[in-house]
Amino acid sequence: MLRLAVLGSPIAHSLSPAMHRYALSSLGLEGSYEALETPLEALKDRLERVRREYRGANLTIPLKEVALPLLDWVAPEAQAIGAVNTVLSVEGRLFGFNTDAPGFLQALRAEGIPLMGPALVLGAGGAGRAVAWALKEAGLEVWVWNRTSTRAEALAEEFGLEAVPLERAKEARLLVNATSVGLKDPTATPLPAEFFPREGAAVDLVYRPLWTRFLREAQARGLMVQTGLPMLAWQGALAFRIWTGLLPDARGMEAAALQALGEG
Ligand code: NDP
């Protein structure tokens, strides 16, 4: 049987089981997708179980970065980003991938958001690194801002980007919130409204709530906007393809996630 799981902590509210159960049933596949509460200290043992009993697993907070040395092979882009969100188990070997980066780009394309720079990535954590890497690979000029500026500077140097002050958002054409600001707080935003550019697009990676203050203010300024759900669905669809060779319908996965989020 096709046995899949998501590992992380806390994991109870993950939208991944709903998305992947949709993927399995839409393709007529028998299988399961479990949410396994896995704190840092349990990761090693849990991965050994994945090695023996599962086709693969997704990794989420706080495991994406620490998993790398525990795997037998890590894809070059996951190595460069420094984070693995998808593990494939074949013949007792564990292979690591990052589908956040290509998932982010696929979501933009699917939603018709132009891949136009300069792009400003807010945040230099795990998600910020994946998005900055993806946009740079796509050929855009990429700027990065982070609350802790030394972290932005280190990322800029590593990936060949520019670390900028927040005000430079006014000159960007694509703004991405890859910080956790706005998560479970509809009043919080990483960007003062007056710093939005006159044209372009804004994407929030946060999807709880779906319509963050960052997106509402971007929309009010006339920018194109995209919530965090299309990326979530696409990173899931690409992970599912790594496990099965089959690409499920990302829009269907997104609808399943929306329903699980309680906003469907
Ligand atoms: P990390 O913990 O690795 O990074 C958190 C980032 O948020 C850091 O840049 C941190 O800055 C910044 N930050 C936190 N608090 C503040 C604050 N008060 N003001 C300004 N900046 C702040 O988390 P991830 O990178 O893994 O995730 C970031 C967000 O993206 C989360 O909300 C997550 O749910 C979402 N996400 C969504 C995905 C999707 O598919 N839609 C995929 C992956 C993530 P500092 O360095 O200064 O601490």
The per-residue pLDDT for range 22-48, each reduced to its tens digit, is 999 999 999 999 999 999 999 999 999
Residue 264 or 24, more confident: 24
**Is the confidence at residue 196, as pLDDT, over 60?**
yes
Q: How far apart are CA 240 and CA 162, in angstroms?
A: 34
Mean pLDDT of 215-236: 98
| pLDDT value for 65 | 96
- Ligand 1 centre distance from Cα of residue 104 (Å): 15
What lies within 8 Å, CB to CB, of 43 at 6+ separation is: 7, 63, 66, 67, 70
Whether the CB of 128 sits within 6 Å of ligand 1 = yes
DSSP 8-state code for residue 147: S
Q: How far apart are CA 193 and CA 233, in angstroms?
A: 28
Residue in the block written with tokens 């469907």 = 264
Whether the CB of 207 sits within 6 Å of ligand 1 = yes
Location of each CATH 3.40.50.10860 domain in the chain = 2-98+230-260
How much of the chain exceeds pLDDT 90, in percent?
98
Computed over every residue of the chain, the mean pLDDT equals 97
- Ligand 1 centre distance from Cα of residue 205 (Å): 9
**Nearest CA among 187, 257, 258 for reference residue 216:** 187
Location of each CATH 3.40.50.720 domain in the chain = 101-227
**Is the confidence at residue 263, as pLDDT, over 90?**
no
**Is the confidence at residue 182, as pLDDT, over 70?**
yes
**Is the confidence at residue 194, as pLDDT, over 80?**
yes
| pLDDT value for 61 | 94
The per-residue pLDDT for range 68-79, each reduced to its tens digit, is 999 999 999 999
Choose the residue to mutate in 179, 203, 215 for probing ligand 1, maximizing ligand atoms within 8 Å of C-beta.
179
**Is the confidence at residue 264, as pLDDT, over 60?**
no
| pLDDT value for 1 | 86
What's the fold here for domain 101-227?
A: Rossmann fold (3.40.50)
The per-residue pLDDT for range 159-173, each reduced to its tens digit, is 999 999 999 999 999
Whether the CB of 145 sits within 6 Å of ligand 1 = no
- Ligand 1 centre distance from Cα of residue 70 (Å): 24
User: Burial letters for 156-176: b for 16+ Cβ neighbours within 10 Å, e otherwise?
Assistant: beebebebbeeebbeebbbbb
53: buried, middle or exposed (CB in 10 Å: 19+, 13-18, 0-12)?
Answer: exposed
The per-residue pLDDT for range 86-144, each reduced to its tens digit, is 999 999 999 999 999 999 999 999 999 999 999 999 999 999 999 999 999 999 999 99
Given CATH 3.40.50.10860, say whether it is the number of domain 2-98+230-260. yes
On the CB side of 156, CA atoms within 13 Å amount to 21
According to DSSP, the β-strands at 86-90 and 73-74 are: unpaired
Whether the CB of 149 sits within 6 Å of ligand 1 = no
In this structure, which residue's CA is closest to atom 3 in ligand 1? 125
CB 133 within 8 A of CB 149: no
| pLDDT value for 161 | 97
Mean pLDDT of 8-17: 97
In this structure, which residue's CA is closest to atom 2 in ligand 1? 125
Question: pTM value?
Answer: 0.97
| pLDDT value for 63 | 97
**Is the confidence at residue 258, as pLDDT, over 70?**
yes
φ/ψ of 146, rounded to 5, equals -145, 145
